[in-house]
Amino acid sequence: MPSLSRSIELMRNSQTQNALIVGGGIGGLTTALALQAHGWRVRVIEQAPELSEVGAGIQISPNASRVLRALDLLEPLMDVSVTPTRIEMVNGIDGATVFSVPAGSAASVRWGAPYLHCHRADLVGVLAQALDARQPGALELGVTIEKVIESDEKIALQTDQNRHEHADLIIAADGVRSTIRSQVFGDGSPRFTGNVAWRCTVPTTTLGKHAPPATARAWVGPGRHAVTYRLRGGDLVNFVGVVETDAWTDERWSAKGTLAQALEDFSGWHTTLQHIIENADAHYRWALFDREPLNRWSLKNMTLLGDSCHAMLPFVAQGAAMAIEDAWVLARSLRQQRDLGIGLRSYEQLRIPRTSDIQRRASANTGRFHARSSIQQWWYWQVPGVAAKLMPSLVHRQFDAIYGHDVVDEMRNH
């Protein structure tokens, strides 16, 4: 089988179809690379004037890293990533361990690809650099889509610069507040889930003895939870703290909060978390939105991808991973089907059940992470803790359906 770079070279002379991808985030850039590797000429337009660092850390689970490996991106990604030593759940108040199982090499052996933590900006940088190397000038920043133009056979787009954008295929990877989705399907606005996430990073050396370990650690407690892990070679600690609230009134979906607010939300919690919050330079609050699963993502020459079609709570850390999976399946579906409509239907048939299942798992974890009653806490925390001590493989098995899912092999055999 020829290498990816050789396949790209062989296809370059026969590229006749053009794809326009709206959204220069993880999903959009991965889609551009996957389509380009499968014979398409691609363009990505992004409304932001620059690719920024907002959002901090991201978990790249094995189901996503195997796609990046297939795109020859794993080596540069690992250069800017941290491999967590363990996957853990602890009590957020007293730090007592619920379960702790090996990750690292054990994750690669069990699920066939590495489990990584990286800064979101570093992943976007790896993707953007690869796209520029493989198709220079494919990414254009500072362009906003204002209107969808629908004709009898095709969909086109109008930008804020009054340009009309046409392509054989248009992919809306423009997030939970997708302009294209709202205009094409008219199914309303995303739904506030009643959860707000605090996000911040702190230099590991600043925390000293209070730095959390280099693990994927969830701190659970009544009505809230936190996640900590390392970034950038272990030099940064990433913190995400999710709090249930009905008090979000800001029209923006993210805003800068205050130290006092963050400390109040995690008052009485473990000193490790208190020190992270106290030493962060900035405290950002993100309202968490999701949507009901769709039974259709495509119309004519347009389809949805990533958060635009399956926005979910981050409680299984799979939002970006699902977009990365989408990218590979879309590219392979179109490669295997000469007819665009058939290819898009194949993409939907493969992805809608998978992403809907992950959306449901993420929502269900609200009760598990935020258990309030003593009975719930016993069931969600004590029972798994005992089971993990008696048979650690039971904990690994919980993740098999997510981390062990292999879209690369699935599409090879599809």
Active-site positions read 229
Q: Which are the contacts of 151, defined by CB distance < 8 A and separation ≥ 6?
A: none
**Radius of gyration of the CA atoms of the chain, in A:** 21
Q: 3-state class of 76 per DSSP?
A: helix
Report the sign of the C-alpha dihedral through residues 286, 185, 360, 401, in that order: negative
Rounded alpha-carbon distances, angstroms, from residue 324 to 89, 140, 395? 26, 20, 25
- Sheet strands (E) in 185-339: 191-203, 216-221, 224-231, 236-244, 254-256, 284-290, 298-299, 302-304
Q: Please name every residue paired with 298 in a beta bridge, in sequence order, or none if there are none.
A: 303
Residue 141's H or E segment, with its range, is strand 139-141
Query: ∠ CA 245-251-256 to the nearest 5 degrees?
Result: 70
104-111 and 393-403 helices, crossing angle to 10°: 60
Reference 301, options 338, 337, 335, 344; nearest CA is 344
Cα 37 to Cα 94: distance, rounded to the nearest angstrom:
49
Q: Which are the contacts of 172, defined by CB distance < 8 A and separation ≥ 6?
A: 22, 23, 178, 179, 180, 181, 184, 302, 303, 304, 305, 308
Q: Name the H helices within 251-392.
A: 259-265, 271-279, 307-310, 319-336, 340-369, 374-377, 383-390
Instruction: Enter the tokens of residue 74.
Output: 């794993």
Q: Please name every residue paired with 290 in a beta bridge, in sequence order, or none if there are none.
A: 191
Q: Which are the contacts of 45, defined by CB distance < 8 A and separation ≥ 6?
A: 20, 21, 22, 24, 140, 143, 145, 159, 165
